[in-house]
């Protein structure tokens, strides 16, 4: 008869980081067999290099399980300053043996899964791997609020310490992110141990996690001034940008400033063009989840640029239409989950510069003389 401690199975939870793809942290399965000096971590991953990120935004990213010695796995996250906690899984010796066999089979498959950041990521795949060896379904007794809501609710809760990651996901996650979706797919590395510690198998009192969490590597402390953190957040940055643009616009009309308005408009045009192309590609060309529609596409799309390129005299109408689109989204901001304050501040900045083209006359700039010329 196999001893209960012949194999030890644990859930490893890695703390989040500021990168958008690490916003929710990471989790892995640790399997140990001291009798044979074996200690490995099985982790579901997808490439995050340039090619991997391109595949992600195309919606074609592949993922799969990989195995690494636990010492190497922990060293990697220790050097990155990210904490790792271990939670002991309450499994029978037979279940732990079956789990190791199943994990080995997943390694052989390689990157055979289509990565889906809503439905097929590290947490959901580890859950599927563990539940595949359980004799009965799981009964969930306590459900955290953010897991009981939509995918966007989950993202907004997890992203509080990382406002720029929140800004990124709010930019690309369209209305599909407001769907409720399957409960287990919304469990994150942070919430999974909390939920599983209270859960038990149907018709039994056996909980899935036993004992207290053990810290294997500590999270590096990050000392940052609260004032600076707020100033450098999306809301802080776009507020300062809006104030700057208001001052430049006033200076243009009342004090005859010339160079600053040109530089400002040029910079905003470059940013607008990049955002318009990126959002259009996501909506029309990508299979990435929750990008089938995007509210910001009403403002950030290539149509104004194309019309201006071929019909320069349409500039007044183009600017007026852009201002109207911005006003519509600003009015809808309190009522649409995707629309938020940082984006509203940036759109207001664009709207002021577009509206400034028509005070008494519509004009464009003569780059040789740095003087306005009417059209």
The model's pLDDT over 275-307, given as tens digits with 9 standing for 90+, comes to 999 999 999 999 999 898 999 999 999 998 888
The whole-number pLDDT of residue 374 equals 44
CA pair distance 296, 318, nearest whole angstrom: 17
Token pair belonging to 65: 């399980």
Write the pLDDT tens digit of every residue in 231-255.
Answer: 889 999 999 999 999 999 999 988 8
What pLDDT shows up at residue 6?
85
Asked if residue 360 has pLDDT above 80, the reply is no
Q: How confident is the model at residue 145 (pLDDT cuts 50, 70, 90)?
A: low
- Pair of tokens at residue 335: 């009522």
Buried b (16+ CB within 10 A) or exposed e, 32-64: bbeeeeeebbbbbbbbeeeebeebbbebebebb
User: How many CB atoms are closer than 10 A to CB 344?
Assistant: 19
The answer to whether residue 325 scores a pLDDT higher than 50 is yes
Structure confidence by residue, pLDDT tens digits, 53-70: 899 999 999 999 999 999
Torsion angle of alpha carbons 57, 61, 67, 73, nearest 10°?
0
């Amino acid at each position: 008869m196999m001893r209960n401690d012949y194999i030890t199975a644990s859930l490893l939870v890695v703390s989040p980081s500021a990168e958008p793809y690490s916003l929710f942290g990471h989790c892995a399965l640790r399997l140990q067999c001291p009798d044979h000096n074996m200690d490995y971590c099985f982790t579901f991953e997808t490439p995050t290099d340039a090619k991997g990120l391109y595949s992600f935004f195309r919606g074609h990213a592949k993922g799969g399980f990989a195995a690494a010695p636990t010492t190497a796995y922990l060293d990697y996250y220790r050097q990155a300053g990210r904490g790792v906690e271990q939670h002991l899984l309450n499994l029978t010796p037979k279940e732990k043996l079956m789990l190791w066999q199943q994990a080995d089979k997943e390694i052989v498959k390689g990157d055979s899964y289509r990565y889906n950041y809503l439905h097929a990521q590290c947490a959901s795949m580890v859950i599927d791997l563990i539940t595949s060896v359980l004799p009965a379904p799981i009964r969930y007794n306590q459900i955290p609020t953010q897991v009981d809501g939509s995918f966007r609710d989950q993202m907004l809760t997890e992203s509080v310490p990382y406002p720029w990651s929140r800004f990124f996901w709010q930019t690309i996650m369209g209305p599909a992110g407001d769907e409720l979706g399957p409960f287990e797919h919304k469990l994150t590395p942070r919430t999974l141990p909390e939920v599983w510690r209270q859960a038990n198998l149907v018709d039994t009192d056996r909980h899935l996690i036993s004992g207290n969490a053990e810290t294997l590597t500590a999270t590096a402390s990050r000392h940052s001034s609260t004032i600076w953190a707020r100033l450098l957040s999306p809301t802080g940055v776009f507020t300062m940008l809006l104030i700057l643009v208001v001052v430049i616009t006033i200076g243009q009309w009342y004090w005859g400033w010339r160079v600053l308005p040109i530089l400002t408009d040029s910079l905003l045009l470059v940013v607008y063009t990049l955002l318009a192309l990126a959002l259009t590609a996501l909506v029309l060309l990508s299979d990435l989840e929750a990008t089938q529609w995007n509210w910001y596409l009403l403002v950030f799309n290539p149509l104004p640029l194309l019309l201006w390129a071929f019909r320069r005299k349409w500039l007044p109408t183009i600017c007026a239409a852009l201002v109207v689109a911005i006003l519509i989204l600003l009015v809808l901001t309190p009522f649409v989950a995707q629309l938020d304050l940082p984006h509203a501040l940036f759109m207001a900045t664009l709207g002021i510069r577009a509206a400034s083209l028509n005070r008494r006359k519509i004009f464009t700039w003569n780059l040789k003389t740095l003087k306005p010329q009417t059209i």
